[in-house]
Amino acid sequence: MSLPNPSKGWRSSSSRLLALYSFLFVAWSCILMGVLYYEVSDYLGNLARHSLMQRQHLFARFEGEQLDEALATSMTFDMRAVDAYGLFDQQHKPLSGPIQSIPQGLPLDGQIHALSSCIDSDDPNLPQDSCDAVATQTQDGRWLVLVRDNGSLFAVTRIILHALIWGLSLTIIPGIAGWHLLRRRPLQRIRSIQASAEAIVAGDLTYRLPLSNRRDELDMLAAIVNAMLDRIELLMHEVKGVCDNIAHDLRTPLTRLRAQLYRMRQQAVEGSADALQLDEVIGETDTLMARFRGLLRISELEDHQRRSGFLQLDPLPLLQELYDFYLPLAEEGQVTLTLETPAALPGLTGDRALLFEALANLLSNSIKFTPPGGEVILRATDDNGSPRIEVLDTGPGIPEAERVAVFQRFYRVDDKHGGFGLGLSIVAAIVSLHGFSLEVNNRESGGAWLTLHCRQSLINPG
């Protein structure tokens, strides 16, 4: 069983919280910038219209030559390409000023209007973009057009906008860097916790979740889990100790009982009723002793006492030996046993005797449950640098609802083929000891399909 990886993408809570905080900060900054920009723009717009209105009222006091002189004098003090005027006769023909035609769309009503396109002219000294304009009739019947460009006044707005953009960018960049740095430390701690948790899932309850000197929330949670593991390990050792003690303590009296029954059987008359009953009792005693031996065997494997004997080995000779050993048994049951292996396989680390015992259990079960005329295949392949060993048969298969239960102690799919229900439990203990994984499926054509993945992904035996 492998644990999910918590460090990919946005799965970590620290990454999500920091990203949410950054998003809210940027959103609030954009709202603040928009409000500030709107307020400044509105203020400068009112200021431009008020200034244009003052110019209109000033020139309305003059007429005739005085108006011409006042307009000519204003050109000296006005900003070029910002303020402009044009004086037209009653037929709208130009008389003076840089504006030679009345801007399109400007009503002749004496009111200030905002124009999106101001003056259509090649003269760069005239306002070209949006502007405020007014057309008013003088006392002598002529038309005076006054124009004020908004661009120069709104340069202040652009300066503010650029400053806000720079400030926002200089905030986002350190924020992203801080987000990356702040999430790395928690993820490193999560990875170390995950490594310890995977070892615990693999069956080694001596591991504990690592603690740091910070004593933060992760340390509090790890300490709680460690306390739970201490209690669970203690209870499991107590229960396991009771079972092991019972199996160990009863083995000696059962051995003595069998010896006495055997002596009584030797003294009984051959073929008598007493001899037959003694044979049955001796058989039941052998069955009981075999079960106790199986329990003690599982206990030894679950304690991981044999990892020190692990060696690097080639699985091909092991598979050939299994095939040669079980070929006579298969032929006796009229079952075809086939060995399918490549020319070479990657090596693996383990105990050869234990692996032989585990594969022997799988192979003997397949031969036992396969009816006469069926087929059992022992197959090995290279699975990305590690061996994958498969046992396939044409028997009844294993129901999906029972594929986990078959590895429990004393569990049997049916009672027709005998057995104690401990063989697959021993296989599961050996697989766990090596850090391998065993997959149980059924073939599409019928029959069981057991796959041993010899990739040591959870623990490092040694």
What CATH number is attached to the domain comprising 145?
A: 3.30.450
Confidence at residue 407, expressed as pLDDT on a 0 to 100 scale: 65
Query: What is the pLDDT at residue 5?
Result: 53
Tokens 């997959």, located at residue: 439
Kindly indicate the confidence band of residue 398, based on its pLDDT and cuts at 50, 70 and 90.
Answer: confident
What's the chain's average pLDDT? 77
Same domain, 233 and 355: no
For the chain, counts of helices (H) and of strands (E): 8, 12
Q: Does 140 lie in the same domain as 247? A: no
CATH number for the domain harbouring residue 236: 1.10.287.130
Per-residue pLDDT, 458: 43
Q: What are phi and psi of 62, to 5 degrees?
A: -105, 160
Predicted local confidence at residue 74, as pLDDT? 79
Q: Count the domains in the chain.
A: 3
pLDDT, position 134: 87
Q: Is the pLDDT of residue 43 over 50?
A: yes
Of 257, 286, 302, the residue at which a domain comes to its end is 302
375 belongs to a structural domain: yes
Using CA atoms, how far apart are residues 458 and 200, in angstroms rounded to an integer?
9
User: Is 396 domain-assigned?
Assistant: yes
Residue 272 lies in a domain: yes
Question: Is position 6 within any domain?
Answer: no
Give the CA dihedral 362, 365, 370, 374, nearest 10 degrees. Answer: 40
My answer on whether 297 and 398 are in the same domain is no
Kindly list the distances between the CA atom of residue 43 and the CA atoms of 15, 47, 49, 146, in Å, as whole numbers in the listed order. Answer: 42, 6, 10, 21
- Any alpha helices (H) in 60-112, and if so which ranges? 65-77
Are 432 and 315 members of one domain? yes
Rounded average pLDDT over 413-441: 70
Distance of CA 385 to the CA centre of its chain: 25
193 vs 119, higher pLDDT: 193
Confidence of residue 376 (pLDDT cuts 50, 70, 90): very high
319, 419: one domain: yes
Do 265 and 317 fall within a single domain? no
Q: How confident is the model at residue 231 (pLDDT cuts 50, 70, 90)?
A: confident
Kindly report, residue by residue over 234-254, the tens digit of the pLDDT.
Answer: 777 766 666 666 666 666 777
Distances (CA, A) of 228 to 110, 193, 231, 302: 87, 15, 5, 20
* Mean of pLDDT values over 76-84: 69
Query: Do 288 and 321 share a domain, yes or no?
Result: no
> For 138-152, 170-184, 402-416, which range has the lowest pLDDT when averaged over its residues?
402-416
Maximum average pLDDT range among 11-25, 144-158, 260-274, 293-307: 260-274
Q: Is the pLDDT of residue 411 over 60?
A: no
Q: What's the length of the chain? A: 462
What is the Cα–Cα distance from 80 to 66, expressed in whole angstroms?
22
Is position 260 within any domain?
yes
- Give me the amino acid identity at 75: M
**Same domain, yes or no, for 277 and 312?**
no
| Residue 316 pLDDT | 92
Instruction: Dump pLDDT digits (tens) for 100-115.
Output: 888 888 888 888 888 8
pLDDT level of residue 460 (50, 70, 90 thresholds): very low
pLDDT at 218 over 70: yes
Q: Is residue 143 part of a domain?
A: yes
Give CA–CA dist 287/35, Å, rounded.
Answer: 88
pTM: 0.44
Confidence of residue 274 (pLDDT cuts 50, 70, 90): confident
* 364: its two tokens: 């003997």
Question: Of the spans 198-202, 389-393, 426-430, which averages the highest pLDDT?
Answer: 389-393
Residue that wins the pLDDT comparison between 300 and 384: 384
Q: Are residues 327 and 224 in the same domain?
A: no
Identify the H or E element spanning 336. strand 336-340
Answer yes or no: is 133 within a domain: yes
Instruction: Based on the fold, state whether residues 314 and 442 are members of the same structural domain.
Output: yes
pLDDT reported for residue 375: 92
Q: What distance in Å separates the CA atoms of residue 25 and residue 171, rounded to the nearest whole number?
A: 9
The residue among 302, 324, 348 that closes a domain is: 302
**125 part of a folded domain:** yes
CA pair distance 368, 335, nearest whole angstrom: 9
Question: Among the listed ranges 83-92, 172-181, 209-218, 229-238, which one has the minimum average pLDDT value?
Answer: 172-181
320-368 tens-digit pLDDT: 999 998 898 899 989 999 999 888 888 888 878 778 888 888 888 888 8
Which of 256, 286, 302 is at the close of a domain? 302
**Domain extent for 351:** 307-453
Q: Which of 132-136, 199-203, 231-235, 424-428 is predicted least confidently?
A: 199-203
CATH, residue 371: 3.30.565.10
Same domain for 249 and 266, yes or no, is yes
Q: In terms of domains, do 68 and 117 share one? A: yes
